[in-house]
Each structure stands twice: as structure tokens, then as C-alpha cells.
């Protein structure tokens, strides 16, 4: 028996926007888009931003979490924020595959966390596959970086500005470039 589309989507199985069941994903997206429009229009204090994020994710967001609008997501309900997470302005989280940001991590402006990919086959490009992104504790992701599907960034790592992360980054490593490569280790004093 084939799993339902939401389960297949979250677990990385191919999903097509042409499937009749895709309406379930689209309905979740429409709800998210309304909440994102609310978040990104007008002024909201930190408590109001958290309240909107809680509606978006369906989870409690700790009062130590700070997300600065504008903020964009295609789904919302597959994002998890640890305590003391900071997300700067104009970030995009495509979270159908799941995004976990652990405690103490800092996300710079214009960062994109993308959990979806398409087939290289032109006849199958309407299909997407997802893979989760896991950002471990105390990670710092610099301005304009992009993290692609299935990536884990190890505890204490730094991702340099404008890097494109295509492979896992070990703990306490500094990654830079396109594609990102390990260029140094974090010095602990």
C-alpha cells in the first residue's frame, strides 16, 4: 500500500504536483502563505512574531527565539527552533523535508535553507524529493549562504557568507565557497 502524500513528501519519496493528492500539500502552503503575509506586512513586536511562528509551525517557539521579518517559508510546519536561535532578515526556509535549528544557532540575513530538489530528467522535473536539513547547536551561517537538501551542519561550525553548502559540515569547521569546502577549524579559546 502506498503511503499518503504528506508522509511520502516528508520522508523523501518523489511527489508530483500533478497528483490529485497534492491538494493536501497546497492547502498547507496556502495557510502558510497567509501567515507569512501577515508576518511580513506591518509592524509586529517580538511576542507577535513568535505567535505567528507558532501558528506557522504548529509548535511552541521559545521566547528566546528571535526571527526578524521579512521571513519566507513554503510550508512552515516542518521547522523546529531550539532556544536562543536568531534568524536575521529576509531568510527563506523551504521546509517540506524538515528543518531543525538547534539551540544557540545564528542565521544571517538572506540565508536560504532548501529541503527540496527536482529530478535531472526533464520529463520528471514536476516531481520533488525532500531531505531534511539539521543545523546543530551554536552554528553560525553567514549572510547569503544557501544550504541544500539533506545537509547536517555540525555543532559550532561556521558557514561563510555566500557559501553554497552541498555536503555535510563537521563540527567546529569553517566552510566557504561554491560549493562550500572546509577551509579552517574554529578556534576555541
Annotated active-site residue 118? The verdict is yes
Of the residues 44, 118, 126, 134, only one is catalytic, namely: 118
Contact of 78 with 58, CB cutoff 8 Å: no
Three cell numbers, residue 185: 577549524
Q: Can you say whether residue 63 is alpha, beta or left, with left for phi > 0 and alpha for psi between -120 and 50 degrees?
A: alpha
10 Å CB burial of residue 180 (0-12, 13-18, 19+) is buried
d(CA 80, CA 57): 7
DSSP notation for 46-92: HHHHHHHHHHHHSS---TT-EEPSSEEES--TTEEE-TT-EE-TTEE
Beta bridge mates, 184: 174
Three cell numbers, residue 114: 532548501
Catalytic residues: 118
Amino acid at each position: 500500500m502506498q503511503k499518503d502524500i504528506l508522509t511520502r513528501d516528508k520522508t523523501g519519496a518523489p511527489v508530483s504536483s500533478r497528483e490529485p493528492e497534492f491538494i493536501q500539500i497546497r492547502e498547507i502552503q496556502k495557510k502558510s502563505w497567509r501567515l507569512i503575509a501577515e508576518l511580513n506586512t506591518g509592524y509586529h513586536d517580538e511576542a507577535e512574531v513568535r505567535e505567528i511562528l507558532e501558528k506557522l509551525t504548529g509548535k511552541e517557539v521559545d521566547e528566546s527565539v528571535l526571527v526578524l521579518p521579512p521571513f519566507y517559508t513554503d510550508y512552515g510546519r516542518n521547522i523546529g527552533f531550539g532556544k536562543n536561535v536568531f534568524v536575521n532578515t529576509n531568510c527563506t526556509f523551504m521546509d517540506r523535508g524538515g528543518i531543525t535549528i538547534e539551540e544557540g544557532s545564528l542565521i544571517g540575513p538572506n540565508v536560504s535553507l532548501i529541503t527540496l530538489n527536482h529530478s535531472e530528467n526533464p520529463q520528471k522535473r514536476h516531481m520533488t524529493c525532500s531531505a531534511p536539513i539539521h543545523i546543530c547547536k551554536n552554528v553560525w551561517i553567514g549572510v547569503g549562504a544557501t544550504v541544500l537538501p539533506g545537509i547536517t551542519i555540525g555543532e559550532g561550525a561556521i558557514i561563510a557568507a555566500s557559501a553554497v553548502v552541498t555536503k555535510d559540515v563537521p563540527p567546529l569547521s569553517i566552510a566557504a565557497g561554491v560549493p562550500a569546502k572546509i577551509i579552517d577549524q574554529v578556534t576555541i579559546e
